[in-house]
A and B are shown apart, each in its own frame.
Chain A
Amino acid sequence: MAEVRDGLRYTRTHEWVRIEGDVAVVGVTDFAQSELGDITYLELPEPGTTVKQGDSMGVIESVKAASDIYAPVSGEVIEANTAVVDSPEVVNKSPYDDAWLVKIKLSAPEEVDRLMDAEAYRKFLAETAAMA
């Protein structure tokens, strides 16, 4: 069973968000890494890039497949985790801690309320599994 961590917000495209003041720390969920399998490549936006909620802002690729990483919130990217770009397998090992991907300075903090909380994301995963 994929881990869903309390206290985080989630997207339907399996990104997680941790709010630290006016900054959103963003990663992909345990479910996402487990579905993708061995992660081999990451493409993240450069610091300074402005992103809009729902836009593709990067790529995550495994041996099996490549998929987009979507911005869960709008704002300016202030930091990208270059250590995880150099060692993408960290996403498999530590999706909620070491493998945070980018930090985004929120330009529209109210967007966070539109994201799922842990309970809603668990329910969403259960529904996804039931449909498969």
Chain B
Amino acid sequence: MSPKVTPLYERHRALGARFIEFAGWTMPVQYEGIISEHLAVRTRAGLFDLGHMGQVIVRGKDALPFLQYLTPNDVAALSAGKAQYSMFLNSSGGVVDDIIVYRVPDTAEYLVVVNAANTEKDLEWLNDHRSQHPEWSVEIEDMSARTGMLALQGPLAEPILHYLTSFDLGTLPSFGIVRTEVAGIATLVARTGYTGEDGFECYCPIERVVDLWDAILEAGQPLGLVPVGLGARDTLRIEAGLPLYGNELSPEITPLEAGLGWVIAWHKGAFLGREALERQRDQGPPRRLVGFELVERGGIPRHGYPVQFESVVVGTVTSGTVSPTLGKTIGMALIARRAAAPGRPLEILIRDRLVKAVQVKLPFYRRSRSTSRSV
């Protein structure tokens, strides 16, 4: 099957993008360069085409109990117009996907945004569980092919979007979502993202996504907005300590191991994977996700490279990069719990050489809160 492209493909080409194949899609990996795009998002703003990601609507009388059962976070705590980070878990507590659940304003619907690589698997997962519970009245609709998704991220994201909408963005809290118009286009605007900066993710009808892209780029150009590819999306999320499915998360990794225990709402009752997670919570997870930085030069620690502690292999690198913001080489690794603690040394096998590293607290980068509208 040939890879899919988003409606913005020709725009990306005209902007000089280089492309990669990612999860069955041909997507821009960079335009001007990964490091300059990364720094633009940290200091000004960047615009991302996220048309590869999946959008699933869950609606119906029993949408809430259905999602409560299939996700570990507390969906009942979501008021209209709010979103939460969550996951689909298997019965062993492993991660099937990590997701954002939005309670869409003015409707009784939930919008679930999933990873591109997992869209089909997640739909099967949802439909299988629905058929196992015929007592629940739930409708699942795949909106992916009809939905355009853009992210506008960075300290100038709000002033840029402000030009294009009459909605008072200052009133939209972190993880809030509103239905409004942007450049005259019906858009769901959410204050969410994957960069560690303030910013927005915008969902619109797919036939309008090129217009939305053009309008945002034009409005933002005087403020230094640039298009950003998947390359900088990855380096930005690593600096922010955010997990990527397939690297930090997989069906063999639990949220407790990944340091994401906060997504588990233990108070809410039964959910898929709960028993396994309770056991792991009580015994302590066997592995922990840690951050590290290299203390000597040796190249980039990449996914899968072995990690040693006191000359014994204790795990592998999940992600690594040169950090454009910090000027260091950083990474995350899933290692035996006994080896995990900030300040402890590690050795990373990069090609054929052991390179010295030290464990540091995650995230590597946290934005100053002065620009945040978090409520």
Q: Which residues of chain B are near A31, meaning CB under 8 Å?
A: none
Residue of B nearest to A35 (CB): B18
Q: Which of B28-36, B53-61, B243-251 contacts A (4 or more CB under 8 A)?
A: B28-36
Residue of A nearest to B36 (CB): A38
- Is B41's CB within 8 Å of the partner chain A? no
Residue of A nearest to B34 (CB): A63
Q: What's the least CB distance linking A128 to chain B, in Å? A: 15
Are B299 and A63 in touch, CB under 8 angstroms?
no
Residue of B nearest to A92 (CB): B33
- Is A30's CB within 8 Å of the partner chain B? no
Are A43 and B299 in touch, CB under 8 angstroms?
yes
**Count of interface residues, chain B, beta-carbon cutoff 8 Å:** 17
Q: Which residues of chain A are near B308, meaning CB under 8 Å?
A: none
* Size category of the binding interface on chain A: 10 to 19
Residue in contact with A41 in the complex, picked from B33, B231, B297, CB distance below 8 Å: B297
- Is B11's CB within 8 Å of the partner chain A? no
- Is A11's CB within 8 Å of the partner chain B? no
Given contacts A38-B34, A38-B35, A40-B322, contact A63 B300 (CB under 8 A): yes
- Is A108's CB within 8 Å of the partner chain B? no
- Bound CA–CA A63/B302 (angstroms): 10
Residue of B nearest to A85 (CB): B297
Are A66 and B34 in touch, CB under 8 angstroms?
no
Residue of B nearest to A34 (CB): B18
- Is A76's CB within 8 Å of the partner chain B? no
- Bound CA–CA A111/B298 (angstroms): 32
- Is A117's CB within 8 Å of the partner chain B? no
Are A37 and B300 in touch, CB under 8 angstroms?
no
Q: What's the least CB distance linking A76 to chain B, in Å? A: 23
- Is A120's CB within 8 Å of the partner chain B? no
Q: Which residues of chain A are near B29, meaning CB under 8 Å?
A: 64
Chain B residues numbered 202-225 whose CB sits less than 8 Å from any CB in chain A: none
Q: Which residues of chain B are near A15, meaning CB under 8 Å?
A: none
Given contacts A37-B231, A40-B322, contact A61 B33 (CB under 8 A): no
Chain B residues numbered 10-41 whose CB sits less than 8 Å from any CB in chain A: 18, 29-30, 33-35
Residue of B nearest to A60 (CB): B299
The main secondary structure of chain A at its interface with chain B is strand
Q: What's the least CB distance linking B294 to chain A, in Å? A: 10
Residue in contact with B322 in the complex, picked from A43, A59, A63, CB distance below 8 Å: A63
- Is B195's CB within 8 Å of the partner chain A? no
- Bound CA–CA A69/B299 (angstroms): 14
Q: What's the least CB distance linking B244 to chain A, in Å? A: 15
- Bound CA–CA A17/B322 (angstroms): 29
- Is B351's CB within 8 Å of the partner chain A? yes
- Bound CA–CA A64/B34 (angstroms): 8
Q: Which residues of chain A are near B300, meaning CB under 8 Å?
A: 40-41, 61, 63, 66
- Bound CA–CA A59/B33 (angstroms): 20
Q: Which residues of chain B are near A37, meaning CB under 8 Å?
A: 18, 30, 33-34, 231
Are A66 and B35 in touch, CB under 8 angstroms?
no
Chain A residues numbered 26-47 whose CB sits less than 8 Å from any CB in chain B: 37-38, 40-41, 43
- Bound CA–CA A40/B329 (angstroms): 10
- Bound CA–CA A37/B351 (angstroms): 20
Q: Which residues of chain B are near A64, meaning CB under 8 Å?
A: 29-30, 34, 231
Residue of B nearest to A61 (CB): B299
Q: Which residues of chain A are near B319, meaning CB under 8 Å?
A: none
Q: Which residues of chain B are near A66, meaning CB under 8 Å?
A: 299-300, 302, 351
Chain B residues numbered 69-114 whose CB sits less than 8 Å from any CB in chain A: none
- Bound CA–CA A41/B301 (angstroms): 12
Residue of B nearest to A62 (CB): B34
Residue of A nearest to B235 (CB): A63
Q: What's the least CB distance linking A101 to chain B, in Å? A: 16
- Bound CA–CA A53/B329 (angstroms): 32
Are A59 and B321 in touch, CB under 8 angstroms?
no
- Contacts A37-B34, A41-B298 aside, 20 further interface pairs with beta carbons under 8 A come to A37-B18, A37-B33, A38-B34, A38-B35, A40-B300, A40-B322, A40-B329, A41-B322, A43-B299, A59-B351, A61-B300, A63-B35, A63-B231, A63-B300, A63-B321, A64-B34, A64-B231, A66-B300, A66-B302, A66-B351
8 cross-chain pairs, A with B, having the tightest CB-CB distances, nearest first: A40-B322, A38-B35, A63-B34, A41-B299, A61-B299, A38-B33, A38-B34, A37-B34
Binding site for A on B (CB under 8 A): 18, 29-30, 33-35, 231, 235, 297-300, 302, 321-322, 329, 351
